[in-house]
Structure 1
Amino acid sequence: MTVVDINIHHLPEDLFTNEKILNGFLDSAPRGFGEIARVETMDSGKKHLILEKPAGHQNLNYVEGDYSVEAKLAAMDDAGVDYGVMRVPVWQEWLDLETCRAVNDNAAEIVDRSEGRLFSTACVPPWGGKENIYELERCVGDLGAVGVQLACHYGQLYLDDPVFEPYLKVIEKLDIPVIAHHTPLPVEWRSVVDYTNLRREYGRIVDQATAVGRELFSGMFDRMPGLRFIHTMFGGNWFANAELLTPHASNKKEALTRLDPTGGEKIQSYLDHNIFFDMTHPHSWGKHQVEAAIKIGGADHHLFGSSFPVFYSWMGQGVEFVQNELEISDAERELILSGNAKRLFGLPI
């Protein structure tokens, strides 16, 4: 059975040796909002790029050598992954256009060197200026990007904000899917920052669930019905929230209507046509939870992803989990492992 991993992280291969590109990453982190970016040398001699918020609380770690085409293909061979879709993990929330161009150019080089096994997504600032639009069109038209990546939010703004609509309308016109990756922390981050797992895992769930909810309730898919968003982290466990957030009308006369009982069918329509989910290292979530997500959201709405190289083991463990541990049909397994990726990204596989 063909396996496509839609969550393989990409950074420029010369990130740690090209001073201009490295500074592009370091200088883009908004220090005024408490984001601290730095590089240190590990005991192994490898360089290590770290993002902290606040100081002393690490949220992102990138190790030199993990992002080469050779590292990607070797891990894929070891895990039984046939194809991969690359994205810049999290950092695209801040990158300037010039740095994005360098990121996109290197992604295209990796795609060429992978001999058809890797595909790229466009990394572009999401504002509607002409130069940003030109770069998006260059990525899709000239570099062969199969989708576009966005962060769940930019600063304080989630993707339902009107400021993003000019850019999103171009994406809709190009008919390419959006990978909406989580950011290091949600907008409201102070309640989860003190404990590592709460900060680095639950914080991403909060970010994704907030983003999905705002997109669904905003009506943005009425204005842009062709948009297709693929959210990481199972959309922040959205399968557990959908019924709760679209309550049924009461069968009694209530003194006060505290929740909006309308709109459930419209929300379900958006979930059917506009929202899909990246099964981010699915074995980490647990067998019963993943099976529940597939049963509720549908196998045709879930795509396998590993977050390689956060943990090298996640790719192989994730493939084995989907192939051998989930109690689902072979047709559902095929959709999750490759069919949905082929359809949504238009992969020539």
Structure 2
Amino acid sequence: MVIDANLYWIPETLFTDSELQNKFLSVVTGRYDWFGHVENVEGTDKVQFIMEKPRGFANLNYVQGEYELEKQLADMDDAGIDKAVMKLPGCAEWLDLELCQYFNDKAAEHAKKSGGRLTALAVVPPYSTDENIEELRRCSEELGLKTVQLSAHYGDKYLDNEAFSGFFEKLNELNMNAYVHHTPVPVEYQSFRTYDNVRRSYGRLVDQGLAVSREMYSGFFNKYPNVKLAHSMMGGAFYAIQEMLLPHGPMDGGAVRRFQGDNGNLAEQLNAQVVYEMSHAQPWGKQGLEYAVSVVGADHVIYGSSYPVKMDWMKGGPEFIRNLDITGEEKEQILHKNAERFYQL
């Protein structure tokens, strides 16, 4: 069994419905320094959305035809993928409630047509208005979308901000898990923008690493003990800096207190409430993933490919995991068992 827990999807109607297209662009352009436009894909009859942050620096590309069900299922078959979890490709940050409702309806419909091979996530603005909470209930109880997808930050606010406390209180009450997707660049992004690979890869890592670190030290896990989070991009390679960021020893090393102490169980809370979705396997390298498993445990790593960003990531990903020097049981955890548990498949 192989579950690809990071298969990107947006409704194909976005490319053909001019009214929907204008609505989508109107909620992104100029918001949080994002800008979006549509242009033809050179040499084809297809169009693509290009999302820039800041203006002039492309960070997301949505290409017509890449999200059609028949293509997705055929590519999954070719790659040996049994099931997949659909994720929105980086646009959750700016969607308003009306678009969230539309996307949720279309995602549930798309998953239903897949015959059980695709699972969709709910997307809801993370503010505790009556309308947002009702949409969360509708997704869970009526549409069967049991996990909510969030952006690592909204504007200049990461998820530990009090603006989101009411929403997380509701998730805590419902025992509902959340998938936390990276944005292409962190809140402070000026130094990341110049080079494509720095912006589109390292920017995502820094964004996720900051998100996990802020959750850990803000008391987030104390306030919402029933909320489990899956962070994309391996939490920004959080495994590599986890020991550095956790408190070390008693706070009596001198007259000046330079670091925050432990509330008694930060490491335990992190272990209990956070898992890491790799987003794609091969770019981490064999040693990188083996080290991640040695630090956080195979039961905390979820396989994903970021399809359709690069077909090689999907087609070669499962075999890449099978070639890691870890046990057979650990490979099974990464390839499907952890996703089954987290996403209630």
| Distance verdict in 2 for CA 1:208–1:6, change over 3 Å | same
| Distance verdict in 2 for CA 1:291–1:18, change over 3 Å | same
CA shift digits 1:252-287 (9 cap, x unpaired): 954544223x31752211221111100111111111
Asked whether 1:337 is paired with 2:338, we answer no
1:139 alignment partner in structure 2: 139
Deviation at 1:290, TM superposition (A): 0.6
Contact 1:30–1:94 (8 Å) recurs in 2: no
Contact 2:121–2:145 (8 Å) recurs in 1: yes
Deviation at 1:30, TM superposition (A): 4.4
| Distance verdict in 2 for CA 1:24–1:270, change over 3 Å | farther
Q: Distance in 2 between matches of 1:128 and 1:288?
A: 42
Q: Distance in 2 between matches of 1:343 and 1:253?
A: 42
Contact 2:12–2:65 (8 Å) recurs in 1: yes
Q: Distance in 2 between matches of 1:211 and 1:294?
A: 21
Count of aligned pairs: 344
Q: Distance in 1 between matches of 2:63 and 2:179?
A: 23
The residue type paired with residue 129 of structure 1 is T
Match of 1:249, SS state, is coil
| Distance verdict in 2 for CA 1:228–1:242, change over 3 Å | same
Tell me the C-alpha RMSD between the 2 structures.
1.6
Contact 2:276–2:301 (8 Å) recurs in 1: yes
| Distance verdict in 2 for CA 1:102–1:250, change over 3 Å | closer
Q: Distance in 2 between matches of 1:64 and 1:338?
A: 29
Q: Distance in 2 between matches of 1:313 and 1:61?
A: 17
Q: Distance in 2 between matches of 1:41 and 1:178?
A: 35
2:28 alignment partner in structure 1: 29
| Distance verdict in 2 for CA 1:100–1:322, change over 3 Å | same
2:102 alignment partner in structure 1: 102
Match of 1:305, SS state, is coil
167-176 or 128-137, which moves further after superposition?
167-176
Asked whether 1:195 is paired with 2:195, we answer yes
Contact 2:84–2:119 (8 Å) recurs in 1: yes
Task: Could you tell me which runs of 5 or more consecutive residues in structure 1 were left unpaired when the two chains were aligned.
Answer: none
Q: Distance in 2 between matches of 1:53 and 1:342?
A: 34
Deviation at 1:28, TM superposition (A): 1.1
The residue type paired with residue 90 of structure 2 is V
Contact 1:246–1:264 (8 Å) recurs in 2: no
Asked whether 1:52 is paired with 2:52, we answer yes
Identity %: 43
1:273 alignment partner in structure 2: 272
Deviation at 1:62, TM superposition (A): 0.6
Deviation at 1:24, TM superposition (A): 2.4
Contact 1:303–1:341 (8 Å) recurs in 2: yes
Asked whether 1:41 is paired with 2:40, we answer yes
| Distance verdict in 2 for CA 1:251–1:171, change over 3 Å | closer
Contact 2:33–2:53 (8 Å) recurs in 1: yes
1:208 alignment partner in structure 2: 208
The residue type paired with residue 120 of structure 1 is A
Deviation at 1:346, TM superposition (A): 1.3
Name the TM-score, length of structure 1 as normaliser: 0.95
Name the TM-score, length of structure 2 as normaliser: 0.96
The residue type paired with residue 269 of structure 1 is E
Deviation at 1:6, TM superposition (A): 1.0
Q: Distance in 2 between matches of 1:171 and 1:306?
A: 27
Contact 1:278–1:304 (8 Å) recurs in 2: yes
243-252 or 117-126, which moves further after superposition?
243-252
Q: Distance in 2 between matches of 1:306 and 1:169?
A: 31
Asked whether 1:83 is paired with 2:83, we answer yes
1:126 alignment partner in structure 2: 126
Contact 2:246–2:267 (8 Å) recurs in 1: no
The residue type paired with residue 284 of structure 1 is P
Asked whether 1:315 is paired with 2:314, we answer yes
Q: Distance in 2 between matches of 1:172 and 1:225?
A: 7
Match of 2:243, SS state, is coil
Contact 2:49–2:62 (8 Å) recurs in 1: yes
Contact 1:9–1:88 (8 Å) recurs in 2: yes
Match of 2:205, SS state, is helix
Match of 2:19, SS state, is helix
Task: Could you tell me which runs of 5 or more consecutive residues in structure 2 were left unpaired when the two chains were aligned.
Answer: none
Match of 1:276, SS state, is strand
The residue type paired with residue 329 of structure 1 is T
Match of 2:6, SS state, is strand
CA shift digits 1:81-106 (9 cap, x unpaired): 10111111110101111111111111
2:116 alignment partner in structure 1: 116
